[in-house]
């Protein structure tokens, strides 16, 4: 099997050598042959992938030209040049770059904090003031430095001029001078300084981009192309952020900084009667803000009054190039956000609920390896892959592995900490008892707590197995979120090394090496920041790992480690401290288990307490009809058929959704015809549906409809069957089975879905056994049909010997519900496409369908409704808005890094206003009010001029 992880060539080879040692010649030969075969297969597949991927991207007519070789030849030359240049200029300096933490301290102006004090001690007051002021610019809420500045102001000989920002860039000075000149109506100086500012800015931006082309630490052993692409991406994201970084004056962010120059310039050129440049400046401004109404009006005015026409409005070349380069950046980043990052999980089907597989318990054993193997097999099954071992991480008992859980899990677990405020250092954290409290207050977080408990348990068992222990204990576990760089973590880093447990330490105290730490990342950080790193005794960085949701890193509690700040988004991880000492067990796991058990018990009703008449009446009032039910009609107690759960319009919208977003395959193994060769199978699950909404490939209303209708169906099954325990969704799947055209086969015995039960494996003797692979957590099933214009395709309940008991014909709005243990099947679909919404429900909340929670989150984030549907709410979701908005609305914009409360740049009114009142609208095309008003001023002044 190509993807069978237990028979790869290296494992087969190992087995062959074992057989060889044991003198088992037959096995030896057989393993060696299989191993050789698999090796050939593997090499063939990988090389083909490499070739085909290139060919699929590079157009055939360009292949012969070999741009690639030319590019890499140039790259080799640049590389050679770079090495020699550095060597020549830096001489004997060690090649190893300084740890990121140090670089960040410089970027954050930390040295000036010390410098001011040293100057003060040296009684060099003027220098002390400048250093203090420079530090203050990036630490404006640091009370200590504010006090110092006040104190300095009172010192003899200190004047206003001494309060200068030593790190302010030349272009910033020019810009500020330009603003002053503009205010004084000194047009010549405005032009001179604004042009100067632009020229220096472009230089500075080029340098900033070059600074981004630094080293990158890869995880694992990527392919050449993947390695180049990943490194490129990190550089690109860094370069894209240059504009944002350079648009910050002190702590203040100036939106559309580059474009704004041309606003002032067009006005100054106008006054200097340089009309050719006026139109160029207008064209350039509109490049950055094409919808700016005031500038468009200015343009119309210039056209009307001075006879310019469209062709005259040519932007300045350098600004145009800059703009176009950034446009490409943004397109690539957009692609990465919507496609590239998703492409890896497009390949894996995230529907198989692999994660809910039973965790093998650890056995008390004297053979330390006996737990390791089954546990590693389990983790392999749920998709865990090791990315770096102890040797690669330069330590002992270290490991990093990916795939313990997925994005859904990360979001849902992180929900527990969502409302937690940060402490004085900007860090947010939550312990297990606090997490329980969150659920006590808001029951909706129960699933999050269940997941958290499960993740901690998997981490505990995995680490125990990894270090060959029969079971470590949890000494402490917590979720820790560190703020992104722009959210003020900076001040914490003065002299200490941030730790994964939320603290920040100056020295490493000696910790027992019988204790272990597991860090399970809950955030993806793709720009190369926020790593967890290991250090040797001399604080040299040995290795580092990028945060990635589902990645677990294991190390000894005594290992020196640190956390790099993330550059933008908050960085969350689950920190689990394990010990071999039972007395150190924090008992929180038991506490959570008991708490959850009580919650569950609280929901189960006595049969006498169940009274569903009112809800059922509401269903009937809404036109839902029970057609057949129970032993009498359907030959089984827990069986029902109801009509009227969806209107024709709703059915066709759901069919559209499936056709538009479905993937060929059953959603489990990806085979296009899983049950019969004569049909294809198209499936769409909620997880994919919500991703499609995010990508604006389908509208959110239609996904909301799928959620609402399935929720109604669930409620009806639970209420009609008088269940004493609530049902939860386990899996929701839109499916269409299509008869292949021009099918020659005789299908009289064929079935679209063979007779089966949904939670056990039906045996030839009519018994049904529960295996690890059967979905035993599925307690009830329901299928809502969406159309009847097909031939064949009847659903039927069956006897254990597989013969038909009762048939049900599909029809839009018809629901079949039953206990998942009932035997059933589907007759062959002979003509047409048979679509349905299949649902499985569970009584066990640990198996809740996580992607439903994610989907609801996605929809509410995008402005959808947040409330759950009730029976009487139906028919509110109409198809009017199914059309998706223009996909181009999805462009990525840079994040603005300003601070609402920041102080203004001294003596620059425009900048202050523009910065302080900026709204959160990140769209490039919107103009802030302030800009508009200054533009109004420009326009009215232009008119005045004309009147004169």
| Spatial CA neighbour of 825 closest among 842, 806, 812, 843 | 806
Residue 822 contacts residue 757 (beta carbons within 8 Å): yes
List the x/- string, 837-856, binding to ligand AKG by CB under 6 A.
-x------------------
388, containing H or E segment: strand 385-388
Contact partner, 336, from ligand AKG, Fe ion, none, Cβ < 5-8 Å per class? none
Minimum separation from the CB atom of position 793 to ligand AKG (A): 8
Q: Pick what 619 binds: ligand AKG, Fe ion, none; C-beta below 5 to 8 Å, kind-dependent.
A: none
Q: Which of Fe ion, ligand AKG, none has residue 856 at its interface (CB below 5 to 8 Å by kind)?
A: none
Please state the closest distance from residue 781 (CB atom) to Fe ion, in A. Answer: 6
The alpha-carbon radius of gyration of the chain (Å, integer) is 33
Q: Which two tokens stand for residue 717?
A: 């099954």
Q: Is 177 in the site for ligand AKG (CB under 6 A)?
A: no
Count of beta carbons in the 10 Å neighbourhood of residue 805: 15
Indicate which of Fe ion, ligand AKG, none lies near residue 577 (CB less than 5 to 8 Å, by partner kind): none
Kindly tell me which of 428 and 733 has the beta carbon lying closer to Fe ion. Answer: 733
Closer of 645 and 836 to Fe ion (Cβ): 836
781 or 911, CB closer to Fe ion?
A: 781
417, 783, 835, 839: residue in contact with ligand AKG (rule CB under 6 A): 783
Q: How big is the CA angle at 520 (ends 223 and 597), to the nearest 5 degrees?
A: 140
Q: Output 575 or 797, the one with its CB closest to ligand AKG.
A: 797
- 823 lies in the binding site for ligand AKG (CB under 6 A): no
Instruction: Please pick, from the candidates 282, 388, 826, 839, the single residue that binds ligand AKG as defined by CB under 6 A.
Output: 826
Residue 449 C-beta: closest distance to ligand AKG, Å: 31
Q: How far apart are CA 817 and CA 638, in angstroms?
A: 8
Give all strands (DSSP E) within 809-939, no chain letters: 815-819, 824-827, 829-831, 833-842
Could you say which residues in the range 770-799 bind Fe ion, by CB under 5 A? none
**Phi and psi of 413, rounded to 5°?**
-65, -40
Closest residue to ligand AKG in the complex (CB)? 795
789 token code pair: 């214009």
Q: Which of 299, 548, 824, 827 binds ligand AKG (CB under 6 A)?
A: 824
Strands of 486-528, DSSP E: 497-498, 504-505, 515-521
How far apart CA 674 and CA 873 sit, in angstroms, is 37
Which of the stretches 9-17, 757-765, 770-778, 844-852 binds Fe ion when contact is defined by CB under 5 A?
Answer: 757-765
Reference 874, options 647, 648, 678, 676; nearest CA is: 647
Quote the least distance from Cβ 828 to Fe ion, whole Å: 16
Nearer to ligand AKG, 753 or 918 (CB): 753
Strands (E), 592-653: 625-629, 639-643
Please state the closest distance from residue 795 (CB atom) to ligand AKG, in A: 4
Q: Tell me the site size for ligand AKG, rule CB under 6 A.
A: 8
Q: How far is the CB of 840 from Fe ion (least distance, A)?
A: 9
> Cβ-count burial of 90 within 10 angstroms (0-12 exposed, 13-18 middle, 19+ buried)?
exposed
Pick the closer one to Fe ion by CB: 388 or 838.
838
- The 3-class SS string of 455-475 reads HHHHHHHHHHHHCCCCCCEEE
Sign, CA torsion 419/422/423/427: positive
Alpha carbon 493 to chain centroid distance?
27
Q: Please tell me the distance from the alpha carbon of residue 352 to that of residue 627, in angstroms, as a whole number.
A: 33
Which of ligand AKG, Fe ion, none has residue 624 at its interface (CB below 5 to 8 Å by kind)?
A: none
- Nearer of residues 698 and 762 to ligand AKG, judged by Cβ: 762
Residue with smallest beta-carbon separation from Fe ion: 758
Q: Which is nearer to Fe ion, 384 or 757 (CB)?
A: 757
At residue 483, φ and ψ (nearest 5 deg) are: -70, 155
Which residues lie below 8 Å from residue 922, measured CB to CB, with a gap of 6+? 893, 894, 895, 896
Q: Which does 838 bind (CB under 5 to 8 A by kind): ligand AKG, Fe ion, none?
A: ligand AKG
Alpha-carbon distance 469 to 7, whole Å? 27
Structure tokens at 917: 């009142």
**Smallest gap from residue 818 Cβ to ligand AKG (A):** 9
Nearer to Fe ion, 704 or 713 (CB): 713
Nearer to ligand AKG, 481 or 826 (CB): 826
Cα gap 296→299, rounded to integer Å: 5
How many whole angstroms separate alpha carbon 13 and alpha carbon 563? 40
Residue in 230, 408, 758, 924 binding ligand AKG, rule: CB under 6 A: 758
Q: How many angstroms separate the CA atoms of 793 and 825, rounded?
A: 10
Answer for the pair 562, 533: CB distance below 8 angstroms, yes or no. Answer: yes
Residue 758 as a binder of Fe ion (CB under 5 A): the answer is yes
Cα dihedral 918→922→924→930 (10° resolution): -10
Which of the choices ligand AKG, Fe ion, none does residue 849 contact, using the CB cut-off of 5 to 8 A by kind?
Answer: none
CB nearer ligand AKG, residue 575 or residue 795: 795
Mask for 697-736, x = binds ligand AKG (CB under 6 A): ----------------------------------------
Pairing of strands 248-249, 252-253: antiparallel
Instruction: Give buried/exposed letters for 255-281 (b at 16+ CB in 10 A, else e).
Output: bbbbbbbbbbbbbbbbbeebbebbbbb
In the complex with ligand AKG, which residue's Cβ is closer, 812 or 871? 812
Q: Which residues pair with 498 in a beta bridge?
A: 504
- Which residue, 750 or 898, has its beta carbon nearer to Fe ion? 750
Partner interacting with residue 560 (select from ligand AKG, Fe ion, none; CB below 5-8 Å by kind): none
Q: Out of 241, 753, 874, 918, which residue is the one contacting ligand AKG (CB under 6 A)?
A: 753
* Shortest distance in whole angstroms from residue 654 CB to Fe ion: 19
Question: Looking at beta carbons only, is 502 or 683 nearer to ligand AKG?
Answer: 683
826 binds, among Fe ion, ligand AKG, none (CB under 5 to 8 A by kind): ligand AKG
> Cβ 824 to ligand AKG, closest distance in Å?
5
Question: What residue has token string 């679509």?
Answer: 835
Q: Report in angstroms how near the CB of residue 561 gets to ligand AKG at its nearest.
A: 48
Q: Interacting stretch for Fe ion, rule CB under 5 A, among 166-174, 531-539, 695-703, 755-763?
A: 755-763
| C-beta closer to Fe ion: residue 704 or 710 | 710
Give the tokens for residue 163.
């309060």
CB of 55 to ligand AKG, least distance (A): 38
Per CB under 6 A, does 795 bind ligand AKG? yes
In the complex, minimum distance from the CB of residue 783 to Fe ion, in angstroms, rounded to a whole number: 8
Q: At closest approach, how far in Å is the CB of 680 from ligand AKG?
A: 14
718 touches Fe ion by CB under 5 A: no
Scanning 382-441, the segments in alpha helix (DSSP H) are 407-414, 432-441
Cβ atoms of 524 and 82 within 8 Å: the answer is no
Strand partners, 497: 505
Sequence-ordered list of residues with C-beta below 8 angstroms from that of 409, at least 6 positions apart, any chain: 355, 451, 455, 549, 550, 850
Report CA-CA distances (Å) from 787 to 106, 324, 651, 741.
66, 50, 7, 19
**# residues contacting Fe ion (CB under 5 A):** 1
826 versus 853: smaller Cβ distance to ligand AKG: 826
Q: List interacting residues with ligand AKG (CB under 6 A).
A: 753, 758, 783, 795, 824, 826, 836, 838
Q: List interacting residues with Fe ion (CB under 5 A).
A: 758
């Amino acid at each position: 099997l190509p993807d069978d992880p237990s028979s790869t060539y290296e494992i087969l080879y190992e087995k062959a050598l074992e057989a060889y040692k044991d003198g088992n010649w037959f096995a030896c030969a057989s393993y060696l042959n299989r191993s050789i075969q698999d090796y050939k297969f593997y090499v063939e597949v990988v090389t083909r992938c490499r070739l085909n991927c290139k060919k699929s991207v590079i157009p055939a007519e360009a292949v012969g030209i070999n741009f690639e070789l030319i590019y890499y030849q140039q790259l080799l030359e640049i590389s050679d040049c770079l090495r020699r240049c550095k060597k020549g200029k830096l001489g004997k300096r060690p090649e190893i770059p300084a740890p990121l933490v140090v670089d960040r301290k410089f970027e954050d102006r930390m040295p000036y904090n010390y410098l001011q004090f040293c100057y003060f001690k040296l009684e060099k007051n003027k220098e002390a003031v400048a250093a203090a002021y420079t530090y203050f610019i990036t630490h404006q809420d640091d009370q200590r430095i504010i006090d110092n500045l006040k104190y300095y102001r009172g010192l003899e000989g200190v004047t206003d001029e001494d309060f200068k920002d030593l790190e302010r860039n030349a272009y910033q000075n020019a810009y500020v001078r330009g603003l002053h000149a503009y205010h004084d109506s000194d047009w010549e100086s405005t032009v001179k300084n604004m042009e100067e500012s632009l020229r220096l800015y472009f230089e500075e931006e080029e340098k900033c981009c070059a600074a981004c082309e630094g080293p990158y630490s890869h995880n694992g052993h990527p392919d050449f192309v993947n390695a180049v692409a990943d490194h490129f991406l990190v550089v690109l994201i860094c370069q894209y952020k240059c504009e944002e970084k350079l648009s910050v004056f002190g702590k203040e962010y100036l939106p559309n900084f580059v474009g704004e120059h041309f606003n002032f310039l067009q006005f100054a050129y106008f006054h200097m009667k340089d009309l050719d440049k006026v139109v160029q400046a207008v064209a350039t401004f509109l490049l950055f803000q094409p919808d700016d109404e005031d500038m468009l009006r200015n343009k119309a005015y210039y056209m009307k009054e001075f006879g310019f026409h469209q062709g005259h409005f040519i932007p300045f070349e350098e600004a145009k190039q800059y703009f176009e380069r950034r446009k490409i950046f943004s397109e690539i980043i957009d692609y990465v956000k919507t496609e590239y990052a998703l492409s890896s999980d497009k390949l894996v089907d995230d529907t198989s609920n692999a994660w809910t597989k039973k965790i093998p318990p650890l056995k008390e054993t004297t053979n330390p390896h006996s737990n390791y193997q089954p546990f590693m097999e389990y983790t392999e099954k749920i998709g865990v892959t090791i990315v770096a071992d102890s040797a690669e991480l330069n330590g002992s008992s270290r490991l990093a592995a990916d795939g313990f859980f997925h994005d859904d899990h990360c979001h849902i677990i992180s929900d527990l900490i969502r409302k937690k405020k940060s402490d004085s250092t900007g860090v947010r954290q939550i312990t297990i008892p606090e997490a329980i409290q969150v659920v006590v207050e808001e029951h909706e977080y129960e699933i999050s707590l269940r997941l958290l408990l499960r993740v901690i348990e998997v981490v505990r068992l995995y680490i125990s197995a990894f270090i060959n222990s029969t079971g470590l204990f949890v000494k402490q576990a917590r979720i820790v979120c560190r703020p992104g760089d722009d959210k003020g973590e900076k001040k914490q880093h003065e002299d200490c090394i941030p730790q994964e447990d939320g603290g920040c330490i100056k020295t490493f105290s000696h910790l027992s090496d019988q204790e272990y730490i597991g860090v399970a990342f809950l955030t993806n950080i793709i720009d190369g920041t926020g790593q967890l790193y290991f250090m040797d005794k001399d604080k040299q960085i040995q290795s580092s790992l990028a945060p990635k949701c589902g990645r677990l890193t294991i190390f000894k509690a005594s290992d020196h480690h640190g956390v790099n700040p993330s550059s933008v988004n908050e960085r969350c991880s689950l920190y689990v401290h394990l010990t071999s000492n039972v007395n150190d067990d924090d008992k929180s796991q038991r506490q959570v288990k008991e708490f959850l058990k009580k919650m569950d018990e609280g929901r189960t009703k006595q049969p006498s307490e169940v009274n569903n008449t009112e809800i059922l009446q509401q269903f009937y009032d809404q036109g839902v009809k029970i057609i057949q039910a129970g032993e009498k009609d359907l030959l089984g107690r827990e069986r029902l058929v109801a009509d009227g759960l969806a209107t024709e319009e709703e059915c066709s919208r759901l069919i559209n959704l499936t056709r538009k977003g479905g993937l060929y395959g059953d959603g489990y193994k990806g085979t296009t015809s899983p049950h019969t060769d004569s049909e294809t199978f198209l499936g769409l699950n909620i997880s994919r549906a919500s991703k499609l909404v995010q990508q604006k490939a389908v509208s959110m209303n239609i996904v909301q409809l799928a959620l609402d209708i399935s929720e109604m169906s669930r409620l009806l099954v639970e209420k009609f069957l008088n269940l004493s325990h609530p049902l939860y969704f386990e899996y929701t799947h839109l499916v269409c089975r299509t008869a292949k055209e021009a099918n020659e086969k005789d299908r009289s015995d064929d079935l679209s879905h063979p007779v089966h039960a949904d939670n056990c494996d039906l045996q030839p003797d009519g018994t049904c056994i529960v295996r690890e692979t059967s979905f035993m957590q599925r307690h009830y099933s329901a299928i809502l049909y969406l159309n009847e214009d097909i031939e064949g395709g009847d659903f039927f309940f069956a006897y254990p010997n597989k013969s038909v008991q009762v048939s049900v014909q599909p029809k839009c709005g018809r629901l079949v519900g039953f206990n998942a243990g009932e035997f059933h099947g589907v007759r062959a679909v002979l003509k047409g496409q048979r679509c349905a919404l299949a649902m499985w429900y569970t009584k066990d909340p640990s198996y809740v369908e996580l992607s439903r929670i994610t989907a609801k989150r996605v929809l509410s984030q995008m402005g959808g409704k947040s409330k759950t549907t009730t029976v009487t709410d139906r028919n509110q979701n109409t198809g009017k808005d199914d059309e998706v908005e223009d996909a181009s609305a999805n462009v990525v914009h840079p994040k603005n890094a300003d601070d609402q409360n920041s102080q203004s740049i001294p003596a620059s009114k425009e900048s202050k206003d523009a910065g302080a009142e900026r709204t959160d609208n990140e769209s490039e095309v919107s103009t802030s009010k302030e800009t508009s008003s200054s533009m109004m001023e420009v326009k009215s002044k232009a008119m005045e001029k004309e009147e004169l």
